[in-house]
Structure 1
């Protein structure tokens, strides 16, 4: 049974990423002119610092140089965090989005924008903002109801530290 390059990369990189206290979110190999481009996306509950990303990039580069998983072709390596517009697909993504406004597309075809208040194994407790002077309402969303979800960017959102002060 042959193993795909993606599976080999995941097997090689997952222990490095886990040892750094991070989650391996995505591995993508694509063409960039004559070279290939290897993009590795990592994240954590505490977020990702530039220093942690640079250190992990050095470790991954060394490990890739020691292995044959990328073959003989030249490639560029990019290690980074997921963008603000990445889809929420795993329960840990919703946990990280606690306190944030999220746009949900539900399997029944409905769309909903709500703030994530709490997350458990079955679903999310959310607060749907009030419209036209109405008070916000609470809503429970089961994970199985969600077809797609993304964090909404809020430019005037108060940071938790500001609210505590």
Structure 2
């Protein structure tokens, strides 16, 4: 990790301490030395507003400029919300999704959809969706099989996305 990346992470951390309702979802660096791209993804429990992203971006940009972090080199700073299509990465994101259907990919390769029932510091409890099975020569049918809630530790989850439904 470069000196600039460490400095930016420190700036983000300091700015978040002043804005306790916001939390960091992810920070990514890309580009070349002469043109860096910094992507900061923020959220809050009630959902972050575009104005809050803009205000945070201005504050972070001011710190970068005041400290002449990139000298004469160009950089692009983007502060964004996670968006509906991005994976859930931190436990606070899961809390907002209680009652929603999520798509899980576990570290062991298991994939399934489930309704998020609850969230704790260690992980989540989900209710797997009914399974589709074939009955003889008929088409697939959803069969009511006794499905039990399933506990997952965050360490077991490789990727988790919200399933967006427009029904």
If the TM-score is normalised by the length of the shorter chain, which range does it land in?
0.7 to 0.9
Give CA-to-partner distance per residue, 1:29-70, whole Å, 9 cap, x none.
3228x6332221111111110111111112112121111323
Q: Please, what TM-score do these two structures have when normalized by structure 2?
A: 0.77
Given candidates 153, 156, 165, the residue that maps to 1:146 is: 156
Q: Please, what TM-score do these two structures have when normalized by structure 1?
A: 0.78
**1:104 matches 2:82:** no
- Unaligned 5+ runs, structure 1: 158-165
Structure 1 residues 92, 136: CA separation in 2 closer, same or farther (over 3 Å shift)?
Answer: farther
| Contact map agreement 1:129 1:135 (CA 8 A) in 2 | no
Give CA-to-partner distance per residue, 1:15-34, whole Å, 9 cap, x none.
113322211222223228x6
| Contact map agreement 1:89 1:148 (CA 8 A) in 2 | no
Aligned residue in 2 for 1:163: none
Aligned residue in 1 for 2:59: 59
Number of residue pairs the alignment of both structures matches: 156
Structure 1 residues 133, 3: CA separation in 2 closer, same or farther (over 3 Å shift)?
Answer: closer
| Contact map agreement 1:114 1:127 (CA 8 A) in 2 | yes
Q: Distance in 1 between matches of 2:111 and 2:83?
A: 22
Question: In the TM superposition, what are the counterparts of 1:1-165 in structure 2 within 5 Å?
Answer: 4-20=3-19, 21-31=21-31, 35-131=35-131, 132-134=142-144, 137-143=147-153, 146-156=156-166
Aligned residue in 2 for 1:162: none
Q: Distance in 1 between matches of 2:155 and 2:11?
A: 35
Q: Distance in 2 between matches of 1:123 and 1:35?
A: 39
Q: CA deviation at 1:93?
A: 2.8
State which structure, 1 or 2, has the greater radius of gyration over its C-alpha atoms.
2
**70-79 or 132-141: bigger deviation:** 132-141
Q: CA RMSD in A?
A: 2.7
